[in-house]
Amino acid sequence: MWGAKQPSFCDDQWAVKPLLLTMISLAALVGLAGPARADYDDDAFLASLRAAGITFPDPGAAIGAGRWVCQAVGRGTQMADVVKTVQSQNPGLHGDNAARFTAIAANVYCPQSLPVTSTKVDGGA
């Protein structure tokens, strides 16, 4: 027994296992965080569309179109052009609904792309 090698904290086998388990755990947590946020955003987007009276037969297609809005804006497409494309690709969006759809998508998926407006309040003087 005295001649048998005892495990130590310096042994590669003992040092690598906890490190490997830690890395796997972190990867799993990071991997789960993305879909959870995406699900929340998608649910909020669909709920906002419904609240605005915008109907859609396929929630997945609506989500895809909403995410496309942010991709287009991210590439530098003007919001007015995005609205026109949304309307031309979705004939069911009548009247102002294409603009509403685009605004809701930007608000949920890429609020940083919305223009910042400032209102000056002078107290009536």
For the chain, give every domain's residue range. 38-112
According to the per-residue pLDDT averaged within each range, which of 14-18, 29-33, 104-108 is highest?
A: 104-108
Res. 15 pLDDT band, cuts 50 70 90:
very low
What is the per-residue burial (b if ≥16 Cβ within 10 Å, else e) of 33-60? eeeeeeeeebeebbebbeeeebebeeee
Mean pLDDT for the stretch of residues 69-81: 95
Enter the pTM of the model: 0.64
In terms of pLDDT, which residue wins out, 16 or 42?
42
Residue-averaged pLDDT of the chain: 76
| pLDDT at 108 (0 to 100) | 96
CA distances for 79 relative to 3, 45, 76, angstroms: 76, 18, 9
